Every structure is written in structure tokens, then in C-alpha cells.
């Protein structure tokens, strides 16, 4: 299996160029469903240990069903498919440029949740115009034993997020373990209280947001598999902008600089969408880190990855 690895502001992406399963024809959304239903072992083999890590997002390139798209892409991590992924879209754009398949300018990607537009600014920088984002619930409060109350918004930015400004501790890199533990407990409380996205969707991401000395805000983002986002999280910050827009605290076209827990940043702004939604644009940097062939020996007991039985 031929892959190219990259990182976007610290968060890794693995673009699969060849060696993936036959997903048939149809839209990228339909093929993403086929991947999730019929090819779990393939996905595990790419992103689970020993080849992968909980922080890794894979981007499987597939032919687009829409003629004006440069590529189709299906995102997945150690838990399963992702509808959209901001950092992986930027990583995919930089990878396509590295391969000579796109040049500077505007291009389209077909994703499972719709078409996203990307603009390649240079060999290491790109912007992604994300899917329409919106807030579903405002001021949802959960009680976490030993930590107290956390009040936040439930919002969509391509994935589902609970976004809170109630912090269990300072947003410092040294507090990663404490921030992760609190976020896992918040997510569990949301599940126990029956909070979901539309169509009973799991709220699989938690965003803890606070002040920054270098940006408009700093965040810690818990990802579905229990890892944390090294980047500021493109879909999460899209969801945040939807909440700011709904509150009237950020005007269309105004730049928002978002800092991650490791200090990397995205530049964002939004345009109005339909029915009170917004269309966010995320600008960030990515670098190719490796080109590799993944090998799958028939005698390898962990060829299909090591899946955590607790999940």
C-alpha cells in the first residue's frame, strides 16, 4: 500500500494513494459507507498500532463522482470514519501539490459530507472552505463528579463538538493528561445524559477553550479515539465560529486566530450560509514527512492492527 505522511500544524495525516479496497461506484458518501461497513480490518491496519497511532487520520483518495472535483477523499481514524477533517484536508492538499496533481489556485475535494473548496497558496500552505457549520444547542450543562459543572454549546463543523470555556486547569501543554481526563469525563456525561447531534449522532469531540497571549483563543481538543488534536482542529474551530456568529460576537469576514495546545495556529473567517449557518474558511500549513510502502505479511499476527478492546 503506497502512502504519503504529512503533518498539519503538528497533527498527522496519512494519504493512501494505492492499495485500498474496491468500494464500487457512487458518491464519495456512498463509498465511505461501504468502507465503514465492509472494510474495518483495512482501516485498522492503516491507523492502529503498530503502523499508526491514535492521533493519526487517514485520507483514502478515491476517484470523485463529480467532474469538477480534483479528488475524492474519505477520512478515518482509530474509531472509524470522519465526515470531514480540516487538518487532513490541508494535509491532502499539500500532498496533492507534492505529487504535482494540483498547482496554486482553487480546487475542489469531494468528501463524505459534501464538496469542500481548497486554495493552495504555496507548497506548505492552503485554505479549506469547509461545509456549512452551525450551533445546535446553546448552554448545555453537565455535572462531572469531582470536577463540577461544565456549560457549553453543541455545534457542527463537519464533526460534532461540545465547546466549553469552563476549564479544569490551565490550557498548558504540561497539563495534557489532566485536560484529556476531564474531556473524556465530560464526553461520558454527555452520553449518559442523552445529548447528541442531529439524528442521534455521537458528540465525539470535546473542545476546551480559553485565553491566549498570542491569538484570539487557545484550545484543547479531544478526538474520538481519546487522543488530542495537535493542531487547532479545523472542524472544531469551524463549530466555534458558528457559535460566535450565532452570539453576534464575530462578524463575517473578520479573521480569527486560533491557537492549539502545542502553540500552532490556524487563521479563520466565515461567510454567512443558509438558515443561520456559516461557511468557514481555515488557513494552515502542512509538510510532507514521509513517502512509504506499507507491508502486510501473511504471517504477521498484527497485520490488521492492534484494536483496543475497551472501545
Which residues are marked as active site? 85, 233
Closest C-alpha among 106, 4, 25 to residue 72: 25
Q: In the numeric block, which cell numbers belong to residue 14?
A: 496519512
- Based on its alpha-carbon atoms, the radius of gyration of the chain, rounded to whole angstroms, reads 19
Instruction: Please tell me the distance from the alpha carbon of residue 122 to that of residue 308, in angstroms, as a whole number.
Output: 39
Find cell 467532474 and name the residue.
67
- For 140, half-sphere exposure in the C-beta direction (CA atoms, 13 angstrom radius) is 26
First vs last C-alpha separation in the chain: 26
Q: What is the dihedral of CA 7, 135, 227, 270, to 10 degrees?
A: 10
Instruction: Please tell me the distance from the alpha carbon of residue 88 to that of residue 121, in angstroms, as a whole number.
Output: 16
DSSP of 245-291, one letter per residue? Answer: HHHT-S-TT--EEEE-TTS-EEEEEEEE-STT-EEEEEEEEEEEEEE
H/E element, 48: none
Q: Give the β-pairing of 217-222 and 205-210.
A: antiparallel
Closest C-alpha among 130, 127, 167 to residue 149: 167
Amino acid at each position: 500500500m503506497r502512502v504519503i505522511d504529512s503533518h498539519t500544524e503538528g497533527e498527522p495525516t496519512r494519504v493512501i494513494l494505492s492499495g485500498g479496497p474496491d468500494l464500487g461506484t457512487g458518491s464519495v458518501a456512498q463509498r465511505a459507507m461501504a468502507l465503514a461497513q465492509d472494510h474495518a480490518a483495512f482501516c485498522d491496519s492503516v491507523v492502529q498500532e503498530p503502523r499508526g497511532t491514535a492521533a493519526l487520520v487517514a485520507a483514502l483518495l478515491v476517484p470523485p463522482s463529480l467532474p469538477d472535483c480534483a479528488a475524492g477523499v474519505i477520512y478515518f481514524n482509530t474509531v472509524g470514519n470522519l465526515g470531514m477533517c480540516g487538518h487532513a484536508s490541508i494535509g491532502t492538499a499539500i500532498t496533492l501539490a507534492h505529487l504535482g496533481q494540483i498547482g496554486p489556485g482553487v480546487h475542489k475535494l469531494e468528501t463524505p459530507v459534501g464538496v469542500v473548496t481548497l486554495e493552495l497558496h504555496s507548497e506548505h500552505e492552503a485554505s479549506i472552505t469547509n461545509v456549512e457549520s452551525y450551533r445546535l444547542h446553546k448552554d448545555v450543562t453537565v455535572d462531572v463528579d469531582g470536577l463540577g459543572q461544565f456549560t457549553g454549546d453543541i455545534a457542527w463543523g463537519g464533526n460534532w463538538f461540545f465547546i466549553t470555556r469552563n476549564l479544569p486547569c490551565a490550557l498548558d501543554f504540561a497539563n495534557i493528561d489532566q485536560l484529556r481526563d476531564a474531556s473524556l469525563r465530560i464526553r461520558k456525561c454527555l452520553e449518559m445524559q442523552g445529548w447528541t447531534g442531529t439524528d442521534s449522532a455521537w458528540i465525539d469531540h470535546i473542545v476546551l477553550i480559553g485565553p491566549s497571549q498570542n491569538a484570539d483563543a487557545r484550545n484543547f481538543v479531544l478526538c474520538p479515539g481519546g487522543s488530542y488534536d495537535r493542531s487547532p482542529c479545523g472542524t472544531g474551530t469551524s463549530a466555534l465560529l458558528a457559535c460566535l456568529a450565532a452570539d453576534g460576537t464575530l462578524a463575517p469576514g473578520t479573521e480569527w486566530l486560533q491557537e492549539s495546545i502545542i502553540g500552532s495556529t490556524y487563521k479563520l473567517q466565515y461567510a454567512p450560509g443558509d438558515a443561520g449557518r456559516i461557511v468557514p474558511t481555515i488557513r494552515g500549513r502542512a509538510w510532507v514527512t514521509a513517502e512509504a510502502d506499507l507491508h502486510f505479511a501473511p504471517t504477521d499476527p498484527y497485520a490488521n492492527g492492534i484494536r483496543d478492546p475497551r472501545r
